[in-house]
Structure 1
């Protein structure tokens, strides 16, 4: 038997990331602190930023989201999308996780942990109904998930969101509580409002990313596009993310610092929700034989939520100072650090799977 040289040990997870990616938790903490500081130093800043909105979302946040999503969607290989749409092992579990298990889990957690706080409970249920279309693309890309699969799943979720959000809101806030003998809540939201939200926050960056790749490859070639152009625009995704976080905290700094115990009460079910959805989806992906890339995409698209829609619906239905709106705002403030941590968990699992040695055949 001939001895084989041991394979070189892989570089640490952090060593494979850029400086911007490697210290992402630090940048996010700094952005949170900067937002809180701005909100405290300039008390009128929140009102000024809230005066101009897009579908109920502050214009600076809307711009940050668009800047954040465009570079990642410009990286998508749109010619490969057909391989994703044919993969029923990915699409079917994603639909079940997003539109059956996710809303049901949030409903259960909201009632179990916030039985005495109906406004926050309703806000959390709305968050659970608003499935991912924005930041999940960033988390998936940082964790080296399947970029094309993420684009397809986000698009599918967007279509379902337009068709199912209002119906599920009626079911989880009125019908199901009535069946269980619990207090009910009404939710007034039109299909057009949801469609408009999807068209703005997904349609614009998706169209821009598609056209950029199509025109760039046609004029300069794929090698130039992927090796020269994409590295130049790539960092803007994280710049947009950090800018969005600063504005979020600046807008809601007083509510967060003024009602810390309420924020803790809202945060607890959210923490459990994100952890259970991500871990359960990741375990399911591995169990049904998906690759690391598609398993990671399945996990992040199941765990992420469309906070801009949840906030817009809560504000439009219950008012900007309502408990429902505060619960919607706390959603991304918990989701961001938790899913950043899960990015690092994903990268560690990727490193582990890449170093596993297959059993020797006899």
Structure 2
């Protein structure tokens, strides 16, 4: 693969660096809004057509579309020069991660946390965690790759291939795992969600790339539309927590309980992927992003599908948003570890 030079200094923008803080602020505003003007959130929640909330659909598109413009399937042809990194990513993302997340969710919410959580709420939290586990990262992984001085072109290849697989594998894996945990799966809604939030944005992104033409024009365009992605995420979180306010205020411990299996899963998946890359002597500039993709989550998709399948009021939607809250601190700690262990990997 071509070694793409990295910019000096931190490539994280203000939003990425303080993502957890913005989400925490959106949560607080949402809780206040839910108490002062509950009718506003309820009106938004009622704006549904065919199990798709129209307001949330627009917000999710605002989040997902800019990242899909970055997907370049033309770079996939170069993967033969370094197949091991991609192989590790695919095995971890699709054969390990969804199943370990489901296992941890069941372990904690059906057994360890059973005295603290009502069974019907536990089932919802399990569903939300399954959705997170089945959606490998698409956007933020470019930030993590830059922070570890990863090969930008190879990272693009890994993300592009994962997105292709997601089109055909996400729905069956989610349906399988939800079925195993005895959660009823509305297949039509699940497939509609995949088409609406993966297939169509991906096609729109590819079309946009073809119209813009050059990499420079694509970069300028994505920088212009990035604020809409930020706004979409923050407003979605505010809506969710304005509806979830009574549940959270009655049991604020629930946020911590949901976060525990997510954190364990994140560190565990990183150990598996990063350890496999070290054992196979994958160069660090490929090994670090390879491990980051599986560790991080495509939380935009998880949030959207949770809302479509279970509703804005659901515990499943709440669980996916908690994933957003804990992701940045966890990932930054793993970036620091990857940078400290660079010398243990081949340089090229």
TM-score bucket (shorter structure): 0.7 to 0.9
Q: Is the 8 A contact 2:135 2:297 kept in 1?
A: no
The answer to whether structure 1 residue 121 and structure 2 residue 117 are counterparts is no
TM-superposed deviation, 1:247: 2.1
2:288 maps to 1:292: yes
**Deviation of the 1:198 alpha carbon:** 0.5
Specify the SS of the correspondent of 2:296. helix
Residue equivalent to 1:222? 215
Q: Residue 48 of structure 1: CA displacement?
A: 0.7
Q: For the Cα contact (< 8 Å) 1:163–1:191, is it kept in 2? A: no
Aligned residue for 2:145, secondary structure, equals: coil
1:51-85 CA-to-partner distances (Å, cap 9, x unmatched) read 11366453333222211111111122221134459
The 1:54–1:74 alpha-carbon spacing in structure 2 relative to 1, beyond 3 Å, is farther
Q: Give the corresponding residue for 1:100.
A: 99
Query: Which consecutive unaligned segments of at least 5 residues does structure 1 have?
Result: 1-9, 174-186
**Offset of residue 358 of structure 1:** 8.2
The equivalent position to 1:240 in structure 2, one of 232, 238, 245, is 232
Residue 75 of structure 2 corresponds to 80
The residue that corresponds to 2:138 in the other structure is: 137
Offset at residue 16 of structure 1 (A): 3.6
Deviation per CA, 1:274-332, whole angstroms, max 9, x where unpaired?
443455444444444352222211222499982332343334xxxx76xxx32x13312
Scaled by the length of structure 1, the TM-score of the pair is 0.75
Aligned residues: 323
Alignment of 1:185-334 (within 5 A): 187-217=183-213, 221-226=214-219, 228-288=220-280, 289=282, 290-301=286-297, 306-315=302-311, 325-326=314-315, 328-334=316-322
CA RMSD of aligned residues (A): 3.4
- The aligned runs of 1:20-39 (5 Å cut-off) are 20-39=15-34
User: Taking structure 2 as the reference length, what is the TM-score of the superposition?
Assistant: 0.78
- Aligned-partner Cα distance in 2 for 1:341–1:198: 28
Give the whole-Å Cα distance in 2 for the aligned partners of 1:132 and 1:262. 19
> Which is higher, the Rg of structure 1 or of structure 2?
1
Partner SS, residue 204 of structure 1: helix
Q: Structure 2: which 5+ residue stretches go unaligned?
A: 1-6, 147-154
Query: Would the aligned equivalents of 1:278 and 1:299 in 2 still touch at CA under 8 Å?
Result: yes
